[in-house]
């Protein structure tokens, strides 16, 4: 009799474990807090402050390109956004939020150390079919970038523009 209930309970448990794993990467935000707060693009945000969710797909297109959908995002300074990211492709991809110069630096590093794992609040790496999220507060206006820094992917088209419109400091 009881065993009938064990299965659903286990299913709930594994779902909880998946959630915990998801928030674990967010937890690393605290380890990286000093680093994060110095990033021009902003800082790790709080789930309670999210005002909108933006869905982003990562995939390989039929013409051999690798793309983000959409590849252009407009945001407002001060906004906290949940990026809900899905790897709809057949290769591993990542979503790294930063400015162009730092992404370029990081990309070079990845070419030297392709196995390099990111454990940063501004990045998520996903296997085919996986999904993940980043909660981010855009503290500064300006032009930024989201990119996949897996060797060769940026060159195949995996980068997108992110423009953050400066808001006057009035309430």
Where along the sequence are the contacts to Cu ion (CB under 5 A)? 93, 148, 150, 153, 158
Q: How many CA atoms lie within 13 A of 56 on its CB side?
A: 32
Q: State the minimum distance, in angstroms, from the CB of residue 94 to Cu ion.
A: 6
Count Cβ neighbours within 10 Å for each residue of 72-96 and write b for 16 or more, e otherwise: ebebebbbbbbbebbbebeeebbbb
How long a stretch of residues is the chain? 171
- Least distance to Cu ion from the beta carbon of 126, Å? 9
Residue number with CB closer to Cu ion (59 or 164):
59
| 99 contacts: CB under 8 Å, gap ≥ 6 | 40, 41, 142, 143, 144, 145
Asked whether the bond before 70 is cis by omega within 30 degrees of 0, the reply is yes
Residue 113 CB, shortest distance to Cu ion, in Å, is 16
* CB of 59 or CB of 135, closer to Cu ion: 59
- Least distance (Å) between residue 131 CB and Cu ion: 15
Q: Which of 93/106 has CB closer to Cu ion? A: 93
CB-side neighbour CA atoms (13 Å) of 167? 13
Q: Is 142 exposed, middle or buried (0-12, 13-18, 19+ CB in 10 A)?
A: middle
CB of 153 to Cu ion, least distance (A): 3
Nearer Cβ to Cu ion, position 78 or 118? 118
114: phi then psi, degrees, rounded to nearest 5: -60, -20
Query: In the complex with Cu ion, which residue's Cβ is closer, 85 or 158?
Result: 158
């Amino acid at each position: 009799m009881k065993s009938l209930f064990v299965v659903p309970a286990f299913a709930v448990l594994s779902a909880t474990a998946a959630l915990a794993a998801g928030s674990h990467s967010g937890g690393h935000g605290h380890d990286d807090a000093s680093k994060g707060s110095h990033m021009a693009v902003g800082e790790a945000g709080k789930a309670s402050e999210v005002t909108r969710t933006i869905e982003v797909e990562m995939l390989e297109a039929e013409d051999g390109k690798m793309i983000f959908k959409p590849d252009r995002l407009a945001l407002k300074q001060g906004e906290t956004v949940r990026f809900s990211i899905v790897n709809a492709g057949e290769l591993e991809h990542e979503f790294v939020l930063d400015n162009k110069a730092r992404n370029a630096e990081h990309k070079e590093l990845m070419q030297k150390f392709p196995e390099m794992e990111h454990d940063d609040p501004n990045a998520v790496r996903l296997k085919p079919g996986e999904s993940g999220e980043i909660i981010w507060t855009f503290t500064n206006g300006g032009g930024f970038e989201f990119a996949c820094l897996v060797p060769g992917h940026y060159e195949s088209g995996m980068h997108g523009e992110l423009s953050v419109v400066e808001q006057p400091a009035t309430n």
